[in-house]
Structure 1
Amino acid sequence: MARALITSIAACLLVMGLAACQPQTVVVTAAPQASAQDYYDAGIRAFGMGDFNQAATQFDSAIRLAPGLADAYWYLGQCYARMGMTRQAEDTYRSGLSVAPGHMRLHEALGLLSYETGNYPQARRELAQASAMGSANPQVFLYLGNLALLDGDCQSAKANFQRALALDPGFLPARQALADAQGRCRPKAPRAETPKVEKSFTGGGRAIDPSDF
């Protein structure tokens, strides 16, 4: 009886040992893929910390996954602009407007960048569009006023400077620009006529003859 019990126990241990030696199946769960929103949120965090290079990488990844994410284009363009990469910034704003032509901040950004890089025709178009769409950025109206002065349109210039100050009464560049415009655009006083001096006698009548005396 004891021998049978020992045999049974030994058999059980053998079976358990064999089972333990069998190859085990390991289930590996893949990490979830980051979404466009995940990349966008990471970009916002990096942007807020001033890490524009990292932020640009995140916003670019967001756009690759979701090409219609208009705000990501604006932030990506801002990153490029702050790193001095003006050509990339302009291209990014243009790409954003191609998928979201009604995005006011993209028009603002492209207009401001165009003005600062000397592309005044494009600046006029984009800043005027931003203004028509309800921009509340005083810099937009400062630049529109400056462009109006270049065109000789004093009234439009002053109106834009006043609009900039209405949005931000403490915006000193607009205050100075308005004062300068008021000085330059003051109506000129009418010019007084210079009396005409006759160089020869043109009156009528007979000339005086000395022999008459």
Structure 2
Amino acid sequence: MNRILATARVQLAAWPSTLGMPWLVLGGAFLVNLMVFALINTSNEDAHTGGLVTFYVVVLVAYVVTMTQYFPMILGMSVTRRTFYLATCLMALVQSLGYGAVLTVLELVESATGGWGVSLPFFGVEFLQQSNVLLQLLAYAVPTLLVSSLGMFFGVTFKRWGVIGMYTLAIASLVVFGGLAVLVTWLRWWGAIGAWFADQSSLALLAGWPALLTLVLAAVNFLMLRRATP
């Protein structure tokens, strides 16, 4: 365990980029949206903003960088692949819970101030809102953990198979998802799929199913990392 914690601390050496960049980008998106809503002076309850998505995108990119740049450097310090991966997963879990806590506080402030005084639904997106603080934290933290795992997946794919692997992944994804869309359309299942999603609670869609997918990605990432070249 001490080895895992030490490896995690090495990864935190560049904390301004790994920890600070998501908040810097999110802060920029927030300020832009705040100015826009202040200028238009809207009270429309249907007004929405997708600025929070930028946070998850930057988190994903941060873990792509972790797997492509920190992986070879840390293995050069005689750290095993298993230790590196466990340290990275530990970081992802702790960061996701920390990020979720901060986002929850920001959502509470947003609700208390009527959308920062300009009816801006930036953090409290309707679909994300939960009935209590703990569930709200999970609604933010679990998707963050999922995109972290997805970033690891892309990074490990690149380390394992290089650019060819990334192109193959992109083409395979296009074929598989495109094929599924054609099949669902042919079988006229879109209504049934829409009804299934409608029957799910927002917490199940935000925390339950993403948590399951995260576990699958965690196993796949480790299997690929075992044969990845630093």
TM (norm. structure 2) is: 0.22
Bigger fraction of residues in helix: 2
Larger radius of gyration: 1
Q: Which structure has the higher relative contact order (CA within 8 Å, separation 6+)?
A: 2
